[in-house]
Chains A and B, each alone.
Chain A
Amino acid sequence: MTDPLLTILYILVFPGFVFLLMYSLFFEFLDRRITARMQNRVGPPFFQPCADVVKMLGKEVIDPDGVDRRIFDAAPLVALAAVMTAFLCIPVGGNSIVRFQGDLILVLYLLTIPTIVLFLLGWLSRNVFSAIGGIRAVTQLFIYEVPFFLVMLAPALMAGTWSVSEIAHWQQENAWFLLLQPIGFVVALVCLQAKLERTPFDIPEAETEIVAGPWTELTGRRLALMHLAKDASLVTGSALIAALYLGGPMTPWVILPVWLGWAAGFFLFLVKTLAILLVLSSIKVATGRIRIDQLNAIGWKYITGAALVQIALVLVMNFWQVGI
């Protein structure tokens, strides 16, 4: 075990919480800027997401009549904490310090917590729009979780390990999973878009139909924390897919000295997550929202079907290599 001071610095500052928050605000800026430029507009300036969070923190907190104030205060904190903890297990510039066998399962579990929190908020809001939005959030969760877990499982099966950092490390010696499992990569991106509730899957938050869904009654610092949780899950999701499919922060060959290898890996991590963000933003700009029953049809037929095909292919390939 490394020096405890280094561990604390890793968790709290870099590449832990402070880095995560700054990077997620930067991601939000880039997302909004790229979206705007694709739509032929100008887009917000660099410090806009930071200004938004600061402003929201300062606003008045409004409690609707008869709503349980303590759960409303605690729920956004729980969501943000879950996402921030999940980010710690993902390798950022070399192996993650808090890695262990099975941390892939932990990350996937923690990433579902924000959606459950949204459902909870929607249900407790005593508001018809929030209730409908919460129900839609959970329905969407059922539809995309199965293929998402399957395609996150596929690299673990092939690499033979349950730790995200070791899967990333495996790709340094062999090929990227992007090349070995392209179907899985596409399904992973689509399911990540659904998890983050962005167009075409922003059904729980459909502005023109149900005001803001479960976000309707969030105000002030609750909204700021939930907003940060959403941004952080964008970064965490992109980092997870980058680690599992694009080789994470691993350089194609081992670079010495160690600190240079670490820095090069970190730079590659940034490049890969930004590339994933570009793809996600393009999907957001190019499509409109679909209905929840249409998502049901598409999700179970095509997306889960593709994920199952991918798993079958991985099992066949494993069997082949074991046989040989």
Chain B
Amino acid sequence: MSVLYEMVKNLLARPFTILYPSEKVPIPAAFRGRVAINDDTCIGCSKCSLVCSVQCISMADSPKEIEFKGKKVQRKKKPRLNLFRCIRCGLCERHCPTGAIHLKNELSESGTDRDMVVT
């Protein structure tokens, strides 16, 4: 009886559960977690804002001089992302020409502010 055999085997073995908080779930490298915007490489092209599926990215004024493909570009705006409305689909990361906006593989933890932004 395969069920009985497996039951007894499980009784004597370690449970499959990951015993948080002493053990943690291993997070793969490709995990879509926290959103981060790199201030030094963003050129303000607004592509992320246009592509965002839920329209949670707005562009805010932020002038800075950025080096892009060997030339000096004067950036006028920078994205402001509403973390609560973001669904972590990764379209902004896919269409960003410089890789300034990207999703890190850290867990984006919980917060209490609905209007939290990443900028």
A-side interface residues toward B, CB under 8 Å? 34, 36-43, 282, 285-286
Residue of A nearest to B1 (CB): A286
> B10, A42: Cβ atoms under 8 Å?
no
Which of B1, B4, B11 is close to A37, meaning CB atoms less than 8 Å apart?
B11
Whole-angstrom distance between the Cβ of B112 and the nearest chain A Cβ: 27
Which of B4, B8, B10 is close to A39, meaning CB atoms less than 8 Å apart?
B10
B-side interface residues toward A, CB under 8 Å? 1, 3-4, 7-8, 10-11, 13, 15-17, 19
Whole-angstrom distance between the Cβ of B13 and the nearest chain A Cβ: 7
Given the known inter-chain contacts A37-B10, A38-B10, please indicate yes or no for A286 contacting B4, CB distance below 8 A: yes
> A42, B15: Cβ atoms under 8 Å?
yes
Q: Which of B3, B8, B11, B19 has the most CB of A within 10 A?
A: B11
Chain A residues with CB below 8 A from B7, complex form? 38, 282, 285-286
> A40, B4: Cβ atoms under 8 Å?
no
Whole-angstrom distance between the Cβ of A285 and the nearest chain B Cβ: 6
Chain B residues with CB below 8 A from A39, complex form? 10
Chain A residues with CB below 8 A from B3, complex form? 286
Whole-angstrom distance between the Cβ of B16 and the nearest chain A Cβ: 5
Chain A residues with CB below 8 A from B4, complex form? 282, 286
Whole-angstrom distance between the Cβ of A8 and the nearest chain B Cβ: 42
Whole-angstrom distance between the Cβ of B110 and the nearest chain A Cβ: 24
28 contacts across the A-B interface (CB closer than 8 A): A34-B11, A36-B15, A37-B10, A37-B11, A37-B15, A38-B7, A38-B8, A38-B10, A38-B11, A39-B10, A40-B10, A40-B13, A40-B15, A40-B16, A41-B15, A41-B16, A41-B17, A42-B15, A42-B17, A42-B19, A43-B15, A282-B4, A282-B7, A285-B7, A286-B1, A286-B3, A286-B4, A286-B7
